[in-house]
Amino acid sequence: MIPVADIVFYLLAAVLVIAALRVVTTRNPVHSALFLVLTFFTAAGLFVLLRAEFLAAILVMVYMGAVAVLFLFVVMMLDVDFAELRRGALSHLPVGLAVGGVILVELIIVALAQHSAGPVTEPAVAVPNTLAIGRVLYTTYLLPFEIASLVLLVAMIGAIVLTLRKRPDVRKQVISHQLARTRDQAVELKKVASGEGA
Partner 1 sequence: MAEFLEYMHGMGTDLLGPVWPLAWTVIKIAVLLAPVMFCVTYLTLAERRIIGFMQIRIGPNRVGPFGLLQPIADAVKLFVKETLIPEKADKVVFLLAPIITLGAALTAWAVIPFSPELILADINVGLLYVLAISSLGVYGLLMSGWASNSRYAFLGSLRSAAQMVSYEVSMGFTLIPVIMLSGSLSLKDVVAAQSGMWFVIPLFPMFVIYFISVVAETNRAPFDLPEAEAELVSGFATEYSAMSYGMFFLGEYANMLLVSTLGVLMFLGGWLPPVSWLGFIPGIIWFLIKLGVLLFAFLWIRATFPRYRYDQLMRLGWKVFLPFSLFWIFLTGTIIHLVGAV
Partner 2 sequence: MPVPMPDINLIALLPEILILLVAMGVLLLTAWSRETTQPLLGLVAMAGVALAGGILLIQTGMTTTTFGGLFVLDPFASAMKLLMLVATLLPLLMSWDYLARHRLDIGEYFVLTLFALLGGMLMASSGDFITLYLGLELMSLSIYVLAAFNRDDPKSNEAGLKYFVLGSMASGLLLYGISLIYGGAGGTGFAAVAQAMGEGGGHAPGIGLRLGVVLVLAGMAFKIAAAPFHMWAPDVYQGAPTSVTAFMAAMPKIAGFAAIYRVLLEPFGPMQSQWGPILQFLAVASLAVGALAAIAQTNIKRMLAYSSIGHVGYALIGLASGTELGFRSVLIYLAIYIFMNLGTFALILVVNNAGVGDEINDYRGLAKKRPLLAFLMAIFMFAMAGIPPLAGFIGKFYVFMAAVKAGMIGLAVTGVLFSAVGAYYYLRVVQRMYFEEAETAFRMEVGLLSRLVIAVSTLAVLYWGLLPGGLIDWAEASIRPLL
Binding site for partner 1 (CB under 8 A): 1-2, 28, 30-31, 34, 37, 44, 53-54, 56-58, 60-61, 64-66, 69-70, 72-73, 76-77, 128, 130, 173, 175
Residues that bind partner 2 (CB under 8 A): 106, 109-110, 113-114, 117, 127, 135-136, 139-144, 147-148, 150-151, 153-155, 157-158, 160-162, 165
What does the DSSP assignment read for 13-82?
Answer: HHHHHHHHHHHHH-SSHHHHHHHHHHHHHHHHHHHHHTT-HHHHHHIIIIIIIIIHHHHHHHHHHH---H
Binding partner of residue 194 among partner 2, partner 1, none, CB cut-off 5 to 8 Å per kind: none
Binding partner of residue 128 among partner 1, partner 2, none, CB cut-off 5 to 8 Å per kind: partner 1
Helix-then-strand count for the chain, H and E? 10, 0
Closest CA to 32 of 40, 42, 41, 21: 21
Binding partner of residue 139 among partner 1, partner 2, none, CB cut-off 5 to 8 Å per kind: partner 2
Binding partner of residue 174 among partner 2, partner 1, none, CB cut-off 5 to 8 Å per kind: none
CA atoms within 13 A on the CB side of 103: 6
CB of 1 to partner 1, least distance (A): 7
